[in-house]
Amino acid sequence: MMDSKVIFNQSKNGLKPYRIPKIDIKREKLSKYINKNFLRNNKARLPEVSEPEVVRHFSNLSVKNHHVDKNFYPLGSCTMKYNPKINDSIAMMSEFSGAHPLQDVSSIQGILKVYYDLGELLCKITEMDGITLQPSAGSQGEFVGLLLMKKYHEIKKNKSKKYIIIPKTAHGTNPASVIMSGYLIKQVDSDDRGRVCIKHLKELVDDETAGMMLTQPNTLGLFEDNIEQISDLIHSYDGLMYMDGANLNALVGMVSPYKMGFDITHINVHKTFSTPHGGGGPGAGPVAVNSKLTKFLPNPIIQYDKKRKYYSYENLKDSIGYVHSFLGNFGVLLRAYVYIRILGKGGLRNISRTAVLNANYLKFLLSDCYHVPFSDGTMHEFVISAVSQKEKGLKALDIAKNLLDYGFHAPTIYFPINVPESIMIEPTETEKKETLESFANAMNEMSLNIDSKIDYYKEAPYNTPVRKLNEAKANRELDVKWNYKDELS
């Protein structure tokens, strides 16, 4: 096993990874140039290690961690597709990475063109009329979308609007965004096909309905085939339809949110458009809207003067205001722009077709050993249940941990919550047939050998840097800070 010391434990007092030549200029105190309120009284407690140690440390960490460049990552509802390296190469060009948002507009025309053109492309893909690229993630995109919805009702003096309807299968951020935006929640049941129950929806919708948030396809991987009926019902009460774009990878190039009756949608560029999944950021969750809402978009927006061939900022009078410093996280948006430009319309269409094909093929390979509660109409992902395996002693959690020893990342487990012992699998379009078959063989092997190997399976994983964790303690006593023996006073 490779050295697992944290970087702080490798520190040695006085060890310097650099040598600065002697300087022959007068030394001056930093306080002469920087306000003392922003200066440390003590040295920063950073590890003192050599450059080779730093490189080796982080190289070792990258090997320990699982990532899309290492092996299959079928994390349901996360679209863990391969991130083309050309996107990174272009984003790291000094002309882009060296620019600053406070530069004069005349000096960043190329940057503004990328923002503007990406917005135009995303509007074409969604068939919407306007867009903001500012939100830093899909969750912030949800919040911004609901603020736009709220502004719409305020302008129309729809004072009775109090509720947002969300399905039982909604992503956890949906109810959080609803509450943050000042609305209340009504939850609509699923029918026996795994779609929105129209009968129950009709009972919930009234004059107090501000709108509905709906993931399309839903988190069971199913296309909401009653979407036109749902949209018409919400619109009949002057409510707005919000599409959670988490699963747009199944639809891109095939059908647009606008044609399904949605007024607002956010776009997870780290899913559909292959930008890196952040570890906290920087990310992006653009929000596209139809003509009802364009005048409420966050400030500033980018305008293009065709005569002058010049890009500039503009503030909208009825805007919901500012939701991000400057225009959004450029580096990640640039990667999405490159991805879309390389693929084009036909390539984007092939993405969704292949993602749907891969999911259905993998579902077929697993269907003899695992129960598929909603098998009709699978799109880009699907949910299986490990209830029969649990009855023999092997829970969904055990299956997930054993997959780590096969070299695969575990799928999403125990979500959606309306399927017991749920395992949500999303293979994405970037995996080849043989990879899907290898994963299915591992899953099926576990199911077929429960009786003879249950004790072995219950102790997995065996080959990971850290094996059995006290999960309850890790959740209750989150500790991610290094503590020195003598803390700063």
Same domain flag for 158 and 196: yes
Say if residue 213's pLDDT is above 90: yes
Stated length of the chain: 489
Position with higher pLDDT, 173 vs 14: 173
pLDDT in tens, 238-267: 999 999 999 999 999 999 999 999 999 999
Collapsing DSSP to helix, strand or coil, 319 comes out as: coil
The tokens describing 142, both together, are 């949800």
Residue 107: give its domain's CATH number. 3.40.640.10
Q: Look at residue 72 and tell me if it is in a domain.
A: no
The tokens describing 445, both together, are 């092997």
pLDDT in tens, 134-162: 999 999 999 999 999 999 999 999 999 99
At which of 20, 49, 64 does a domain end?
64
How far is 384 from 423, CA to CA, in rounded Å?
A: 5
> In the prediction, which pLDDT does 485 show?
63
Same domain flag for 153 and 120: yes
Strands 310-314 and 382-385: unpaired
Range of the domain at 399: 354-475
Same domain flag for 336 and 364: no
Beta bridge partners of 187: 166
How far is 339 from 287, CA to CA, in rounded Å?
A: 18
pLDDT in tens, 309-355: 999 999 999 999 999 988 999 999 999 999 999 999 999 999 999 99
Number of domains in the chain: 3
- Start-to-end CA span in the chain (Å): 38
Q: Are 289 and 133 in contact, with CB atoms under 8 Å apart?
A: no
The tokens describing 69, both together, are 């460049």
Region of residue 419 (phi > 0: left; psi between -120 and 50: alpha; otherwise: beta): beta
Q: Look at residue 173 and tell me if it is in a domain.
A: yes
pTM of the entire predicted model: 0.91
Q: Over pLDDT 90: what percentage of the chain?
A: 81
Same domain flag for 298 and 200: yes
> In the prediction, which pLDDT does 281 show?
61
> In the prediction, which pLDDT does 280 show?
54
pLDDT in tens, 56-67: 999 888 888 888
Same domain flag for 442 and 463: yes
Segment 123-128 shows an average pLDDT of: 98
How far is 146 from 131, CA to CA, in rounded Å?
A: 14
Q: Look at residue 488 and tell me if it is in a domain.
A: no
> In the prediction, which pLDDT does 205 show?
98
Q: Look at residue 489 and tell me if it is in a domain.
A: no
Closest listed residue to residue 260, CA positions, set 239, 220, 231, 289: 231
Say if residue 383's pLDDT is above 90: yes
Same domain flag for 141 and 290: yes
> In the prediction, which pLDDT does 3 show?
54
Same domain flag for 226 and 98: yes
The tokens describing 140, both together, are 């912030």
Q: What integer best gives the mean pLDDT of the chain?
A: 94
Q: Look at residue 83 and tell me if it is in a domain.
A: no
> In the prediction, which pLDDT does 77 show?
92
Strands 184-188 and 412-413: unpaired
Same domain flag for 159 and 209: yes
Same domain flag for 293 and 360: no
Q: Look at residue 241 and tell me if it is in a domain.
A: yes
Query: With bands split at pLDDT 50, 70 and 90, how would you rate the model's confidence at 475?
Result: confident
Torsion of CA 184, 189, 128, 217, to 10 degrees: 140
pLDDT in tens, 402-448: 999 999 999 999 999 999 999 999 999 999 999 999 999 999 999 99
pLDDT in tens, 390-402: 999 999 999 999 9
- Complete edge-to-edge strand list for the sheet that includes strand 422-425: 382-385, 422-425, 412-413
Query: With bands split at pLDDT 50, 70 and 90, how would you rate the model's confidence at 487?
Result: very low
Say if residue 1's pLDDT is above 80: no
Neighbours of 404 (CB within 10 A): 17
Same domain flag for 321 and 367: no
Closest listed residue to residue 381, CA positions, set 70, 68, 73: 73
> In the prediction, which pLDDT does 488 show?
41
Q: Look at residue 43 and tell me if it is in a domain.
A: yes
Q: Look at residue 391 and tell me if it is in a domain.
A: yes
Same domain flag for 318 and 277: yes
The region of weakest confidence among 11-25, 218-232, 234-248 is 11-25
At which of 300, 321, 342 does a domain end?
342
Same domain flag for 365 and 328: no
How far is 126 from 132, CA to CA, in rounded Å?
A: 13
How far is 341 from 87, CA to CA, in rounded Å?
A: 11
